[in-house]
Amino acid sequence: MARTDDNPEGVPDEVFAEMEEGMRNDRAHFFTGFFKDFYGVGWIDRPVSEEVLNLSWATAMMAGLRPTLLAAKAFASTDFRPDLAALTVPTLLIHGTADKTVPIDATARAVVAAVPQATLVEYEGEAHGVFASQTERLIADLLGFLEGRTVEPGEQAAIDVATAQSMSFQPL
């Protein structure tokens, strides 16, 4: 995901350095803001409840500072692009277009360009945490992909409510 000479669409090192500094200086405060971005919470938009934000924050705070920093470093520096050629099966990517955590251009759009069997479903205006903010749509898209069909953007998926609830994704 990092910006390099051969990955000009990547994220600049300064962004990762700011994240590390935020975690080192006040990890609790950093993750409060991080999860608002992760779920796309703003002054008007509240795609998830305060309880989902609190649960995500509490889960992140259970990790120590050192493993958190090491995970962030791995997240920022691991280059999976050489592995993409090995993906020879149908591959589904689902990504929010307003994702501030993992930018769509540097990741999902790059993957779909490199993997011939890949399909990208973009969730317009959605942040990273679509599993919590767009649960029913995500379930419909996953089931549709597994069944070999595509649910078009804006199409209402025909899913039994009990099935959707039993498969509901819970944050973290």
User: Residue 9's pLDDT is what?
Assistant: 83
User: Residue 168's pLDDT is what?
Assistant: 52
Rounded CA-CA distance 95/109 in Å is 9
User: Residue 72's pLDDT is what?
Assistant: 95
Q: Which residues of 59-87 are buried (b: 16+ CB within 10 A; e: fewer)?
A: ebeeeeeeebbeeeeeebeeeeeeebeee
Contact 117, 89 (CB under 8 A): yes
Rounded CA-CA distance 164/160 in Å is 6
User: Residue 166's pLDDT is what?
Assistant: 57
Superfamily of domain 81-166 in CATH is Alpha/Beta hydrolase fold, catalytic domain (3.40.50.1820)
Contact 47, 133 (CB under 8 A): yes
User: Residue 8's pLDDT is what?
Assistant: 87
Rounded CA-CA distance 53/70 in Å is 23
Tens place of pLDDT per residue across the chain (172 aa):
888 898 888 889 999 999 999 999 999 999 999 999 999 999 998 999 999 999 999 999 999 999 999 999 999 999 999 999 999 999 999 999 999 999 999 899 999 999 999 999 999 999 999 999 999 999 999 999 999 886 554 454 445 545 555 555 455 4
User: Residue 154's pLDDT is what?
Assistant: 45
Phi, psi of 122 (to 5 degrees): -95, 130
Q: What residue segments make up the domains of the chain, in order of their start?
A: 13-77, 81-166
User: Residue 64's pLDDT is what?
Assistant: 96
User: Residue 156's pLDDT is what?
Assistant: 44
User: Residue 111's pLDDT is what?
Assistant: 94
User: Residue 104's pLDDT is what?
Assistant: 95
User: Residue 152's pLDDT is what?
Assistant: 57
User: Residue 7's pLDDT is what?
Assistant: 87
DSSP summary character for residue 155: P
